[in-house]
Structure 1
Amino acid sequence: MTLAVAGGLVVAGGTVALVVSMMSAVQDSIALPPRSQAPHSEPYGEEPYEEETYDEEPAPGPDPEGDVTVATCGRDSLIGWPHADLKIVNRTEDPAAYIVTVSFVDGDGDEVGDGIATTEEIAPGDAVTVRALGSGEVAAGTKCRMGEVERYVP
């Protein structure tokens, strides 16, 4: 009996030593790099994150508002959230991507919500239909009003 207990203790002790040794090895392998002593250093290195910049110039061609029409304006029958299906035709000579905002207005013309729709690049002369979704319940009879249309040409 004593031998069985002693053997069990030896196995348990060996297992604990093995686990401690492996934890130490894992801790060393996942350790963070040392912090820089400079007071102005960033947590992920010395170089700040570079944001993508976009050309602020308007895309060439006709006004982008003319590229977009509201095909349908509706309200989800289950939850009452508004949506607008927008038909976008790229009337430029270059591929273009779009960001379109829509306002949802009640019968008095007061804005009760808004939505946004985006596209990937659309080839010149091609058309797509996208949906701008609003959030929050609106009353039946809510109308859609076109907002800002931004067109981006690479």
Structure 2
Amino acid sequence: MVVLLLIAAGVVGVMAVNDATKDGGPLADATASAPAQSDEPYDEPNQDAEGTPAAEEPTDEPSDASGPEGDVKITQCEVDSLTTWASAEVTITNSTEQTASYVVSVEFVDSSGKRVGDALAATENLAPGQEAEETAQGLDTIKGKIDCKVTEVTRYEQ
């Protein structure tokens, strides 16, 4: 019974808003000034003309060696023969002058460059100059050889 009352109240509220915008009420000005939606298709970044994601060559080199990405290096990349899960061993070195915590996103790609999984590695309260070895453990079943790629590094300075 309570659910029916809540649904009825919602319907009445929607009808009241519609009436207010049609009759030139205070909501009419707010909806009239809303930005118009474009009929132009949205182009996803890093896609080809057909909208298919562009393949990138996997690399363990960070894209920006001066930022937090420069603090992370993949030291091992493998698929466990028993679980068929991928993992990447990463070394994180705090290059700042403050204690920092890190979250590292790793992507697993097959020999054709197709993404077959991903994982995260993290460490907390890493002192300036200190190094930590962490594992980014995937949970996807993967067959065959893979490459590991750091896709994003977030550093939180304390």
Q: Same fold (TM over 0.5)?
A: yes
* Counterpart mapping for 1:68-87 below 5 A: 68-87=72-91
Specify the code of the residue in structure 2 equivalent to 1:116.
L
Query: 1:142 is matched with which residue?
Result: 146
For structure 2, list consecutive stretches of 5 or more residues without a partner in the other structure: 1-65
Tell me, in whole angstroms, the C-alpha distance in 2 between the residues paired with 1:141 and 1:71: 16
SS state of the match for residue 90, structure 2?
strand
Q: Percent identity?
A: 42
SS state of the match for residue 83, structure 2?
coil
Specify the code of the residue in structure 1 equivalent to 2:129.
G
Q: What is the aligned-residue RMSD (CA, Å)?
A: 0.8
Match for 2:116 among 97, 105, 112?
Answer: 112
1:133 counterpart = 2:133 = no
Larger radius of gyration, structure 1 or 2? 1
Tell me, in whole angstroms, the C-alpha distance in 2 between the residues paired with 1:148 and 1:66: 11
For structure 1, list consecutive stretches of 5 or more residues without a partner in the other structure: 1-61
Tell me, in whole angstroms, the C-alpha distance in 2 between the residues paired with 1:126 and 1:151: 14
Specify the code of the residue in structure 1 equivalent to 2:113.
G
* Counterpart mapping for 1:5-154 below 5 A: 62-154=66-158
Tell me, in whole angstroms, the C-alpha distance in 1 between the residues paired with 2:81 and 2:132: 25
1:140 CA displacement: 2.2
Q: Deviations over 1:29-60 (max 9, x none)?
A: xxxxxxxxxxxxxxxxxxxxxxxxxxxxxxxx
Specify the code of the residue in structure 1 equivalent to 2:106.
V
SS state of the match for residue 83, structure 1?
strand
SS state of the match for residue 69, structure 2?
helix
Specify the code of the residue in structure 2 equivalent to 1:136.
D
Tell me, in whole angstroms, the C-alpha distance in 2 between the residues paired with 1:112 and 1:70: 18
**Runs of 4+ more than 4 Å apart:** none
Specify the code of the residue in structure 2 equivalent to 1:79.
T
1:139 CA displacement: 1.8
- Normalising by structure 2, report the TM-score: 0.58
SS state of the match for residue 125, structure 2?
coil
- Normalising by structure 1, report the TM-score: 0.59
